[in-house]
Each structure stands twice: as structure tokens, then as C-alpha cells.
Amino acid sequence: MKTKLRFRKKNSGIKTKDSISKIKSVHGARTKQHYISIPEKSDIKIITTYNFDSGGIPITIKVYTKKDEFVPIYDVSITGISKNTEIVLDKIKEELTSQVSLGMVDILDTKETGVIEKKFTQAIELLLNKHFPDASKKVIDFLKSYLIQKSLGLGSVEILMDDINLEEVAINCKEEPIWVYHLKYGWLKTNIRMESEEQIRHYASMIGRRIGRQITILEPLMDAHLAAGDRVNATLEPISVKGNTLTLRKFAAKPWTITDFIKSETISTAAAALIWLGVQYELSTLISGGTATGKTSMLNVVANFFPPNQRVISIEDTREIRLPKFLHWVPMITRLPNPEGKGEISMLDLLVNSLRMRPDRIVVGEIRRKREAEVLFEAIHTGHSVYATVHANDTRETITRLTNPPIEIPKTMLPAISMIIVQYRNRRTGIRKTFQISEILPNSEANVLIQLDIKSGKLNKINKSRSLLNTIQTFTGFSNKELIKSLKEREHVLKWLVKQNINTVDSVGKVMAEYYTQPDYLMKFVKKNKPLV
């Protein structure tokens, strides 16, 4: 049977009330996902529009505000397919199911996923050419991507995960639209809804099985990390009262670098130069801040300054630290217990083990408990440089948090930490800034060196160093004049990084390696403001 292919025009503007875009069915659950159209009203104001590709499917995103909606709408629009073509594609899908073994276990086995998709692709090409002999290669490729995503993937959730502007995807229940956290606009409501609670549960089960986890009525909570680094949390009703939930935190496709921080005015070049100086000379550093203030991003930025001739061990719950590929780096992550409560690998286990691996520097995702902090401070006292994060809103609160339960380390141990960097986030605007840079004095008190002026958004020097710079001078033999010159030189390098738009982990790491091994060679390019050859 030859079928004429009929496409609706790609959405190029705001749709009318009666216009409904594509409906996608999901393999394994007899449900549908709906893309709700934008009503054509004068009370809608478009904030931004952009495009990206999701597995070969062209996607258009519109972010707009609407009267009586207190949160902006994130509208997903994809190339539509006519009803007749949809019927033929459903028939092809049935034929695929009979031709290719699509047992749920096979699909969800990570080792078999590639094999299944390869079989699928081959079978799809044959069937599409059979049913649509006059279609172009471009159309066939589009339909192929559409069918693979429709049959094996997470449908519209995969589209959301492919948008690099999104940080989080949250499904709260079938009654609500899917929510997303946009890097620029914060929380937004999408125009996508899940048709049933069963579909949300199916997605959670699919993700869980891929990584050897399960979610059931007896085990209604699941917290897991995907192979790519994305974090997944799922809950089942009645634990979550309104319905089943699924929350996906995306692993950043491009980690933040010091160049990004300076360009976005998160930090000043003078403050960054001070941090760089401290990191080079192995001064242990704590990064503190509230939730979503950019603590891990700052930890990544601090790691930009690591030299290439030292061994680095990173310990995290979720893989978020990214170091240049040429560094001597061993990344390690914790492991949750299996359903029988066995096989857990805690942060403490990894910390203790890391001390037997001859590390020069230890990077820890977050300090939460007393024993972890004790091992961390023990590592510092035995000659290791440690970099870690902790939840606290300012320097004073950081010290209070460290010296009181549940961490509760003796205050006399605090001088082992030379520097505290505090991150801040304006919850109204979503803007993140470095809030304070402080030093710990020998008497265990803090001295704030640099402070953010909230009104102007500028970082100002408010106190002279009484410990940090003295420590560097003691171990380097620098005079005050040489120390100031070194800081100024670093500022020039940082400004050059911004001018040359050197903003990837590997490229920034390469510049740092050049600075440590061939400073005179690097400074020639910096002074002439030319690209590094």
C-alpha cells in the first residue's frame, strides 16, 4: 500500500484555540501526551523564542507570559503530522513490535539498548520506504527519529532534557503541566501534560531499570543517578499525595569556568586572582552558600586552577565536578544500598579510601556529617589540600555550622581551612554572585577580605589579609611587592581569557598548565592580547 505523506505546516506563530499540535503515544503504557496550543490573545507577551534539535526532530520553544498566569509558560512546538500519517505510523509501530523483540527487560538493559535501537532503525527504514516510497531522505530520517523516540524513549521528557537551557524537569502529577527550571527565567510551566499517573510510574520504572533500581508500592521512593550524570528522583502515590512524581536534574553539558564567572559578573578579576593564588599554593578551601547558589559551579571554577603535575581525587554523590582531561584525576561517586540494604558505598568510605591513594588534592562534593568532617580535617593535617562545599549563608554561619551538631568539629581545628568562599543567589532575580571571600585566623575567628555590595553588585575589599597572604609569603618567600605583582599578573591573564573567549574546562586548564610550566611564554600572548599558539 502506498500512502501519501501529509504534513501540517511547522508552527511559525501563535496558534488558535482550535489548533492542536502533535499527540505522541508511549510504548508500554496505553496513554498519550498532549502538547497544548497557545491561544491567540492580546494578553500574551512573548519573552523569547529559540530552536534546537532533539534526536533529529526540530523543536521550537516560546517562553511567554499570559494574563492570570503568575508563572511564564514554556511552549514546546514540533513539526506536526497529519492524522492519516499518524495512523500509518501506528501501523508501522505494530509491525515493528512483531519484527523486533521489544521485551521490557531488553529495552531497559543498558547493554542491550544500543542493539535494540540498531534493530529498530533497520526495521524502520525498510517499513518507511515501503509505506512512503516517494518521501525524501530528510523526511524518512525525521519519521525514523519520531518512531524511535515514540517507541523506546521518554517522549516529550526527552525533548525537555535536550534543551541545554533547562536545569530541571519536574513532573508533579497528571493534573498539572510539566514544570521546568530555565537557566535564565527560573521555574516555568510547560504546555505538556502527562495523560495518566500510570504513564509517570512507567517512566520512573523505565529509568530505574536502566540503572538496576526499582520503584514499587513497597519501595515508593527512588533517588538515582543516570550514566550521563543526570540525577533522578521519583515518588509514588499515596506517599506523594497529589500523584506520582518524577524530577530530573540535568547534568550540565558545559561546566562553568572562571571565564564564564567573570563574563557574567559573578566574580571580579581581583577576587578570582586571590582565589587562584590560594589554590596554586595549596591552601585548603571551603565553598559555602544556600541552596542553588552555585556552590558546585564555584567548586568547578576553583578546580580550573589545579596544576597538571598533582594527583586529584574527587568524591561526590552525583558526578558534577569536571576537570581538564589531561590532569591526573580520579573521580569517585558514592553508591546507595540495594533493595536489601546492602552494597552501600558512603562518602566516608571513599574519603578514608582516598587517603590510601596518595592524593595531592581531595575534592569533596559536600560535608554533611561529623565523621566526614573529621576525616577531611585529618587529611589537611597530613599534608593534603582539600576543597569542599557546605550549606551556610555566610562566613559566620559556616563556622557555626562546622562547630555545632551534626558536624561538630573542635573550633581549634578550623585554621586548617585557609579560605572560605561564600556564594549568594538573589531569589527574586535568580542572579548568582560570589558573596564573601574570607580567611580563618590562627585564633579560629574569621576575617572577611572581600564582600559583595548588594545594591551595586560589586565585590569590594573591606579588610586586609592577616593570615592567608602571610601563609603564602612564608612558603614562597615572596615580598609584599612580589605578591602584589603576582596578583596583578593573574588579573591580566584572567582578563585575557575573557577577551579571547577561552571558556571550556580543557582550554582554561591548558592556559593554567602553561602558566605553571611556561609563564614567560604565556605572558607574551597575554601582553599582546593574541590567541595562544
- The DSSP secondary structure of 21-69, one letter per residue, reads --EEEETTEEEEEEEPPPP--TTEEEEEEEEEEETTEEEEEEEEEETT-
For the chain, what are the domain ranges?
Answer: 23-193, 258-478
Q: Using the predicted structure, report yes or no on whether residue 79 has a pLDDT greater than 70.
A: no
pLDDT of residue 170: 97
Mind giving me the DSSP string for 195-236?
Answer: S-HHHHHHHHHHHHHHTT----SSS-EEEEE-TTS-EEEEE-
254 grid coordinates: 558545559
Residues whose CB is less than 8 angstroms from the CB of residue 97 and which lie 6 or more positions away in sequence, other chains included: none
pLDDT of residue 80: 58
Average of pLDDT values for 67-72? 91
Which DSSP state fits 81?
Answer: B
> Phi and psi dihedrals of 523, rounded to 5?
-65, -25
Higher pLDDT, 279 or 124: 279
Q: Using the predicted structure, report yes or no on whether residue 47 has a pLDDT greater than 60.
A: yes
Whole-angstrom Cα distance, residue 427 to residue 514?
Answer: 39
CA torsion, points 357, 361, 364, 368, in degrees to nearest 10? 90
Please give the CATH topology (third level) of the domain spanning 258-478: Rossmann fold (3.40.50)
pLDDT of residue 20: 28
CA count, 13 A, side-chain hemisphere, 348: 9
Per-residue pLDDT tens for 475-507? 999 999 999 999 999 999 999 999 999 999 999
Alpha helices in 319-369 (DSSP H): 347-354
Higher pLDDT, 39 or 2: 39
> Are the beta carbons of 387 and 366 closer than 8 angstroms?
no
Type and span of the H or E element at 244: none
% of the chain exceeding 90 in pLDDT: 59
What mean pLDDT, rounded, does the chain reach?
85
Whole-angstrom Cα distance, residue 529 to residue 500?
Answer: 8
Average of pLDDT values for 299-323? 92
Higher pLDDT, 150 or 331: 331
Average of pLDDT values for 37-55? 79
Gap between the terminal Cα atoms of the chain: 61
% of the chain exceeding 70 in pLDDT: 85
Give the CA distances from residue 433 to residues 288, 457, 502, in Å, rounded to whole numbers and listed in that order: 12, 8, 21
Topology alike, domains 23-193 and 258-478: no
CA count, 13 A, side-chain hemisphere, 249: 11
Give the CA distances from residue 456 to residues 388, 453, 459, in Å, rounded to whole numbers and listed in that order: 29, 6, 9
Per-residue pLDDT tens for 216-258? 988 899 987 776 778 899 999 999 999 999 999 887 778 899 9
Q: In sequence order, what E strands does 365-517 have?
A: 385-391, 419-425, 432-440, 446-453, 458-461
pLDDT of residue 117: 65
pTM of the complete model: 0.76
| pLDDT band, residue 113 (cuts 50/70/90) | low
pLDDT of residue 101: 52
Residues whose CB is less than 8 angstroms from the CB of residue 369 and which lie 6 or more positions away in sequence, other chains included: 348, 406, 407
Which DSSP state fits 134?
Answer: T
Average of pLDDT values for 414-424? 96
Average of pLDDT values for 346-363? 94
Whole-angstrom Cα distance, residue 180 to residue 167?
Answer: 7
Vertex 274, ends 271 and 276: CA angle to 5°? 110
User: Of 43, 22, 45, 52, whose CA–CA distance to 191 is shortest?
Assistant: 22
Whole-angstrom Cα distance, residue 226 to residue 369?
Answer: 25
Higher pLDDT, 112 or 239: 239
Location of C-alpha cell 574519603: 351
What would the CATH number be for the domain defined by 23-193? 3.30.450.380
Per-residue pLDDT tens for 180-197? 999 889 899 999 999 899
Q: Calculate helix-pair angle for 480-499, 519-528, nearest 10 degrees.
A: 60
Average of pLDDT values for 10-15? 36
pLDDT of residue 131: 81
Whole-angstrom Cα distance, residue 389 to residue 145?
Answer: 41
Higher pLDDT, 356 or 148: 356
Q: Using the predicted structure, report yes or no on whether residue 259 has a pLDDT greater than 90.
A: yes
Residues whose CB is less than 8 angstroms from the CB of residue 236 and which lie 6 or more positions away in sequence, other chains included: 201, 204, 215, 216, 217, 220, 221, 244
> Phi and psi dihedrals of 370, rounded to 5?
-60, -50
